[in-house]
Amino acid sequence: MGASLLMVTALASCQDDFDAPGIQEPVATWQANTTIAGLKEAMWKDDTNYAIKCPQKEDGSNYIIKGRVISSDASGNIYKSLYLQDATGAITISINQNSIYNQYRVGQEVVMDVTGLYIGKYAGLEQIGGYGEYNGTPQVSFMIYPQFEEHTQLNGLPSTDLTYINYGEEAPAEGMYCTVMKISDLPTDNAGIRAMQSQLVELRNVHFEQGGENTYSTYQTSENRNLVDEAGNTIVVRTSGYSTFYNQTLPKGTGTVRAMLSYFNGTWQLLLRSTADVMFGGKGQKDEPYTVSEALGLQDTGAAGWVKGYIVGAVKGGVSAVTSNEDIIWGKDVDMDNNLVIGETADTRDYTQCVVVELKSGSAFRNAGNLLDNPGVYGKAISCRGTFARLLGMGGVTGNAGTTDEFTIEGVDNPNPPVTDAPGALSCDFEEASKIADYTAKGWKLAAVKGNLSGWYIKTFNNNNFANVSAYLGNATGGPYENWLITPAIDLSKSEKKVLSFDSQAAYAANDSYLEVYVMTTDNPASAQLTKLSPALATPPASGYSDWVKSGEVDLSAFSGIVYVGFKYYSAAGGKDNSATYAVDNVVIGKSTGGSVTPDPDPTPGPTPDLQDAVVLKAADAANFDGEHHAEEPKEGSSNGQAERWQPLRGFTIGDYAFTFTSGTGTATAWYNIMSTATSGTPTVRFYNGSGMTIKVPSGKVAKIVMKGSNANSALAPTADAGTVARDGNTVTWTSTTGVSSVTFAFNATYRVNTFEVYLVK
C-alpha cells in the first residue's frame, strides 16, 4: 500500500536499485478501557466552570479512551482544539498549539490516557486540557503540546469514511459519523447537553440571516452569525476573524451546514471547519424556485426549497402508492382534499414528471388550494416550499406547514384574509362530530409549531367526545413537541359576558410537559400577540387520569374586538414515559360557564372474569411457589436488617397458562424475577430493571393480576392493547380480554411488589 502511494513514475526504471519507502502505520500499545460518554459522565458537574485532575479508576487503572479526530484547524477557525469522537459521544481537547491538523488529521484514530490531565468545563463546555482560573474559579484551559503528545498514541492511518445518522439513532460501532439534526432538536437537559457537546452535526434546509450581504466575521474579531431553519429557529455560527474565510460573504439561499457543535455559557453554537462544510445552492428561494424536474432530481437527498409548477390533479382516494397514471385524477374533479399533483406544465399527464404535495389538515394551503373545494385553481401556477422526498410512491414535496408564507397560487391573492366579522360567543362540547377535521372545517385550527406529531384529535369515551393531545407517539429524542388547538374567531364586542370557561383533564405526569391557554390576536401562534391566561387546569397524576377540572370563569374584560383562544400543548420529549396527556371539553366563550363530565379513566373496559373457580397464585402463599417454580436453591441475604431467602423464578405453567420470565441486565447469569420467603416480614415478588413477565392466556379465557408495592402503579406496562388496566393509588389491576393469546409486562426499575396475586380462570 505505502509503495504504491509514494511511487514516482519517473524513476520506474530504477526500481531494482531503489525501493520506494513504505508508509509506517502507527499501532497504539494502549488499550481503551473507557468510552468517551463514560468518561464525560464520570467527571461531569453541573457547574459552568471547574477543573478536576483526572484520577485513576477504582481498579487502579488509568482512564484510557479511543476515538477518531473529527475536527480540523487548517482554516484557523477551530482554535487550539481537537475533537475526538467514538460511538458513544465526542469531547473537546484544549491544546496550546496551532496547526494541529498536520499530525492529527480528520479520521485519525487516537488512543488517549486521560489520567493526570485536567477535565472539566470552560464556559459550560466539558473538555480535557490543563488547569486554569478566572476570577479565582478553576476551569479547564490549554495543556502544553508536549504533554498532549505524552498522553496520546496514534492508531492506524486516517480513515475519512463518514456515516450519517439521524438525531437519536444509534451511532456506528466503528468510523466517524455525522448527526443530522434540527435546531429544535438541540437538548436543554444535562444528559442531552453532555451527549451532544463536541459532536459533528449537520443542519439541513437552513439559511443565514443577511445571507448574500454580510461576511462571516471581521478581521481579528470573532463574531456570531445566525443560522435559521424553516420554522424560524436559530443557532449561532461563530467565526474567528483570523480564519481564512472570515471576509467571505455569507451564502444566499437555503442549504446545508456541517459543523462542530460547541457550547458557550448556556448557548449552543456551531464552529465551521471550513467553508467546504457550507453547502448552498443558488436556487430554491421563493424568487428563484426549482422547476418540477429539478425537484424530482433532488428527491431523498435532504434538499429543500421552493418549487414552481402547475396544478394538474390529485392522487385518488385509497391509493397508498402511485404506480401508474391511472392512480391520479387529472383535472379538477378530484375526490381528495389532502394533496395536489403539480406538473412541469399545465397539460402534464405523466406522474413520473410530477410531484405530489401534501396539504396539512386545517391549514391555509389546504383551505385555499385543494381542488375538491377550489376547482378554479386547476391549471394555475403554484409555488410552494418543502423538502423534496418521495410521497405516496412518487416524487413529493413534504413538510409544508400550510401557512400563507409557504405557498402562492396564481389568482389567490390572500388565501387567509383577516377576519372582519365573527360571532360574539362560542359553545363547543365536541359532540357534533368525532373527527377533528370536522371542527377545523368550521373555523377551529391546529398548529404544529414544533415536532412532527399531528397533535390534537377527538377522543370518545363513555359516549362523551373531547379534544385530546399527547406526545405519546413521539420519542425521547425527537422533541420538543408543541401543538396548538385554536378556537374560531370571537368578537368580544358582541359578547354577552367577556369570559372563558372549559373543562380539562390530564394524565401521566412527565417532566416539562404541560398545557397553557392564551388569548391570541390571530390564529397563527408564530405571528399573533399572545397573552397567557391563568385558568384552573387539571394536574396529571403519576399514572392514570385525573378528574375533570373546571377552569372557572376566566375574565376576558381586558380584551376587545376579534380574538382567538389557543390551547398550547408542549412536551420537551415524547414517548410513554416522557409526555403527559391533556384533554379539553365544553369550551365556552362570551357567555356563562357550561357543564362538565367525568369519564372513567379506563378507556377500553373489558369483561370481568368469573373468579369464583379461579386458580389463585399469591406471593404470600409459599406453597404456590414450590421447587417446581424455582430455577435454583434459595439464596440467603438481608434487606433493611431483615434476613431474607431469595429464589429466582423460572418459566412454568399452571393448567393451560404459561409464565415466562425474562432477565434484566448486569449479571453473568440473570437478574432475578424472584419470590422472597423472608424469615421476617411478608413475602414479596421483586422485578429488576429490564426484566419482564409474559403470560400466555388460553383462547376464550381470561386472567387477572393484582399488584401493589413499590412504584407498582407505573411498573405494569403491557406492550400492546391487551386488556384493561385500573389504578388505585399504588395498586394496579390488569384484566385480560378473551381472545388475547399473550401479554407482556416490562419493568424499567426495581420493584418490590408486596401484593402479587394472579387469578387464572379454569
Cβ(498)–Cβ(491) below 8 Å: no
**Lowest mean pLDDT, pick from 258-272, 502-516, 665-679:** 665-679
**Overall average pLDDT of the 483-511 stretch:** 92
CATH class of 426-589: mainly beta
Instruction: Give the up-direction half-sphere exposure of residue 449: CA atoms within 13 A in the CB hemisphere.
Output: 22
**Overall average pLDDT of the 135-143 stretch:** 93
Confidence check: pLDDT of 438 > 70: yes
**Residue partners of 658: CB distance under 8 A and separation at least 6:** 651, 652, 695, 696
**Overall average pLDDT of the 282-309 stretch:** 82
Give domain limits for the chain: 36-161, 165-280, 295-409, 426-589, 614-761
pLDDT attached to residue 203: 93
Q: Which CATH number fits domain 295-409: 1.25.40, 2.60.40, 3.40.50, 2.40.50?
A: 2.40.50
Nearest partner of 306 among 379, 386, 381, judged by Cα:
386
Per-residue pLDDT band at 545 (split at 50, 70, 90): confident
Per-residue pLDDT band at 302 (split at 50, 70, 90): low
As a whole number of angstroms, the distance between CA 618 and CA 175 comes to 52
| Other CB atoms within 10 Å distance of the CB of residue 128 | 26
**Top-confidence residue, 232 or 49:** 49
**Top-confidence residue, 199 or 459:** 199
62-98 CB burial, b ≥16 within 10 A, e <16:
bbbbbbbbbbbbbbbbbebbbbbbbebbbbbbbbebe
Q: 165-280 in CATH: which number?
A: 2.40.50
Cβ(90)–Cβ(84) below 8 Å: yes
pLDDT attached to residue 722: 57
Per-residue pLDDT band at 677 (split at 50, 70, 90): very low
Cβ(269)–Cβ(237) below 8 Å: yes
As a whole number of angstroms, the distance between CA 238 and CA 203 comes to 15
pLDDT attached to residue 579: 87
Nearest partner of 450 among 473, 481, 486, judged by Cα:
481
Q: Is 176 helix (H, G, I), strand (E, B) or coil?
A: strand
Confidence check: pLDDT of 28 > 80: yes
267-283 CB burial, b ≥16 within 10 A, e <16:
ebbbbbbbbebbebbeb
**Top-confidence residue, 479 or 358:** 358
Confidence check: pLDDT of 196 > 90: yes
Top-ranked range on mean pLDDT: pick from 10-14, 171-175, 708-712: 171-175
Confidence check: pLDDT of 85 > 90: yes
Question: Residue for cell digits 530504477?
Answer: 14
The full DSSP string for 411-475 is: TBS-SSPPP----S-EEE-S-S-SSHHHHHTTT-EEEEEESS----EEEEETTEEEEEEE-TTS-
**Overall average pLDDT of the 146-166 stretch:** 90
Strands (E) in 344-402, as ranges, are: 354-358, 381-388, 396-398
| Other CB atoms within 10 Å distance of the CB of residue 131 | 16
SS3 of 144-158: the string is: EHHHHHHCEEEECCC
| Other CB atoms within 10 Å distance of the CB of residue 29 | 7
As a whole number of angstroms, the distance between CA 718 and CA 734 comes to 9
**Overall average pLDDT of the 164-183 stretch:** 90
What is the pairing mode between strands 200-208 and 255-264? antiparallel
**Overall average pLDDT of the 134-139 stretch:** 89
Cβ(759)–Cβ(616) below 8 Å: yes
**Overall average pLDDT of the 45-62 stretch:** 95
> Quick one: cell of 290?
426549482
Nearest partner of 352 among 306, 296, 294, 312, judged by Cα:
296
Burial grade of 173 (CB within 10 A; 0-12, 13-18, 19 or more): exposed
Cβ(573)–Cβ(474) below 8 Å: yes
> Quick one: cell of 653?
405453567
- What are the backbone dihedrals phi and psi of residue 54, each rounded to the nearest 5 degrees, phi first? -60, 120
pLDDT attached to residue 622: 36
| Other CB atoms within 10 Å distance of the CB of residue 607 | 12
| pLDDT, tens digit (0-9, with 9 covering 90-100), for 382-391 | 999 887 888 9
Per-residue pLDDT band at 689 (split at 50, 70, 90): low
As a whole number of angstroms, the distance between CA 713 and CA 728 comes to 8
C-alpha R_g of the chain: 31
Cα–Cα distances (Å) from 693 to 658, 725, 757, in that order, read 10, 16, 14
- What are the backbone dihedrals phi and psi of residue 46, each rounded to the nearest 5 degrees, phi first? -75, -10
pLDDT attached to residue 672: 40
Strands (E) in 359-414, as ranges, are: 381-388, 396-398, 407-409
Q: How far separated are the first and last CA of the chain, in Å rounded? A: 73
Confidence check: pLDDT of 294 > 80: yes
Cα angle at 182 between 179 and 185, to 5 degrees? 90
Estimate the share of the chain in helix, then strand, then coil, as percent rounded to the nearest 5.
10, 40, 50
Q: Is the bond preceding residue 480 a cis peptide, omega within 30 degrees? A: yes
As a whole number of angstroms, the distance between CA 677 and CA 688 comes to 17
**DSSP label of 546:** P
Q: Is 405 helix (H, G, I), strand (E, B) or coil?
A: helix
| pLDDT, tens digit (0-9, with 9 covering 90-100), for 590-619 | 986 543 333 333 333 333 334 444 555 555
The amino acid that residue 253 corresponds to is: G
Cβ(177)–Cβ(36) below 8 Å: no
Q: Is 71 helix (H, G, I), strand (E, B) or coil?
A: coil
What percent of the chain is modeled with pLDDT above 90?
46
The full DSSP string for 304-334 is: EEEEEEEEEEEEPTT-SS--SGGGEEESS--
pLDDT attached to residue 544: 76
Q: Which helix (H) or strand (E) holds 90?
A: strand 89-96
Q: For 134-197, where are the alpha helices, taking DSSP H only?
A: 145-150, 190-196
**Top-confidence residue, 498 or 632:** 498
Cα angle at 262 between 256 and 264, to 5 degrees? 130
Per-residue pLDDT band at 42 (split at 50, 70, 90): very high
**Lowest mean pLDDT, pick from 181-185, 255-259, 375-379, 671-675:** 671-675
**Overall average pLDDT of the 692-699 stretch:** 71
Q: 36-161 in CATH: which number?
A: 2.40.50
Nearest partner of 357 among 312, 380, 391, judged by Cα:
391
The full DSSP string for 592-649 is: ---------S-SS--PPP--TTEEEEETT-GGGG-GGGBSS--EEEEETTEEEEEEEB
**Lowest mean pLDDT, pick from 438-447, 454-463, 605-614, 681-690:** 605-614
Per-residue pLDDT band at 160 (split at 50, 70, 90): confident
The amino acid that residue 65 corresponds to is: I
> Quick one: cell of 717?
406496562
Per-residue pLDDT band at 317 (split at 50, 70, 90): confident
Per-residue pLDDT band at 434 (split at 50, 70, 90): confident
Confidence check: pLDDT of 4 > 90: no
pLDDT attached to residue 390: 87
**Top-confidence residue, 324 or 398:** 324
**Lowest mean pLDDT, pick from 8-17, 138-147, 183-192, 236-245:** 8-17
Nearest partner of 479 among 514, 451, 453, judged by Cα:
451
> Quick one: cell of 570?
408542549
- What are the backbone dihedrals phi and psi of residue 357, each rounded to the nearest 5 degrees, phi first? -115, 130
**pTM of structure:** 0.43
> Quick one: cell of 485?
388547538
What is the pairing mode between strands 328-330 and 267-271? unpaired
| pLDDT, tens digit (0-9, with 9 covering 90-100), for 236-245 | 999 999 999 9
How far is residue 306 CA from its own chain's centroid?
26
> Quick one: cell of 448?
404544529
pLDDT attached to residue 683: 53
**Lowest mean pLDDT, pick from 203-207, 225-229, 436-440, 711-715:** 711-715
Confidence check: pLDDT of 739 > 70: no
pLDDT attached to residue 641: 46
The amino acid that residue 532 corresponds to is: K
Confidence check: pLDDT of 65 > 80: yes
| pLDDT, tens digit (0-9, with 9 covering 90-100), for 720-735 | 345 666 655 556 666 6
pLDDT attached to residue 560: 84
pLDDT attached to residue 730: 56
Q: Which helix (H) or strand (E) holds 705?
A: strand 703-709
Per-residue pLDDT band at 417 (split at 50, 70, 90): low
Per-residue pLDDT band at 204 (split at 50, 70, 90): confident
**Residue partners of 136: CB distance under 8 A and separation at least 6:** none
| pLDDT, tens digit (0-9, with 9 covering 90-100), for 267-288 | 999 999 988 788 886 677 777 8
**Overall average pLDDT of the 565-587 stretch:** 90
Per-residue pLDDT band at 414 (split at 50, 70, 90): low
Q: Does the fold of domain 295-409 match that of domain 36-161? A: yes
As a whole number of angstroms, the distance between CA 148 and CA 96 comes to 9
pLDDT attached to residue 721: 43
